Amino acid sequence: MSDHLLVLLRHGQSEWNLKNLFTGWKDPDLTETGVEEARQAGQRLKARGLSFDTCFTSALLRAQRTLELTLAELGQTGLPIMRDSALNERDYGDLSGLNKDDARKRWGEDQVHLWRRSYDVPPPGGESLKDTVARALPYYCQHILPAVLRGERVLVAAHGNSLRALVMVLDGLTPETIPAMELATGVPLVYRLKSDSTVAAKDVLTA
């Protein structure tokens, strides 16, 4: 079973997370807290004796730095890393860079909530969660899952919404249940997959 290891890791706190800004495809770095979260993720994985063969991440700095810091804690800095915008955060379009409270004042609480929490209603110029699933899931099926099923131990460092697209499939969630599912920054989700790609076990490493 250990040969079918898949770990999903949301990046550590970013500068824009701290400022309560819509981030999307914008590219802020990690905060000091985010750096520490990434290091703790590596420590938690190491404490459980986990190591990796292959890594995937997005085209954005906060995910890439999280991966680098996590691997440094594991002593595995030389691993092959695939970077692809298919794993980028959801594009928030016209909301990108705006303070979430300011957005509520401008468009109203209900409208901003709909953009943030609905499955298929995109913000102006941006992507819905459904749109994010439509690009992240094919990448998972074509690149990540085959590596896992070949017996490679895989670590994916990405973003709240692109990872929710993968969790939606792994956990069997629906368009009705996935919007309420939150992923904490810097907390590894450890999956053991069966040979048919379904989940044999899941562990959330909160400590």
Catalytic residue check, 89:
yes
Integer angstrom CA distances of residue 159 from 56, 78, 105, 108, 191: 12, 23, 26, 26, 17
What does DSSP say about strands 189-193 and 5-10: parallel, antiparallel, or unpaired?
antiparallel
Q: Which of 4, 11, 37, 159 is catalytic?
A: 11
Report DSSP state, residue 183. -
Catalytic residue check, 152:
no
Query: Which pair of tokens denotes residue 103?
Result: 């957005």
Give every CB contact of residue 6 below 8 A, 6+ residues apart in sequence.
Answer: 144, 148, 154, 156, 170, 190, 191, 192, 193
Question: Which burial class, exposed, middle or buried, applies to 24 when counting CB atoms under 10 A from its CB (0-12, 13-18, 19+)?
Answer: buried
Q: How far apart are alpha carbons 159 and 177 in whole angstroms?
A: 18
Amino acid at 179: P
Q: Which of 32, 37, 68, 89 is catalytic?
A: 89
Active site residues: 11, 89
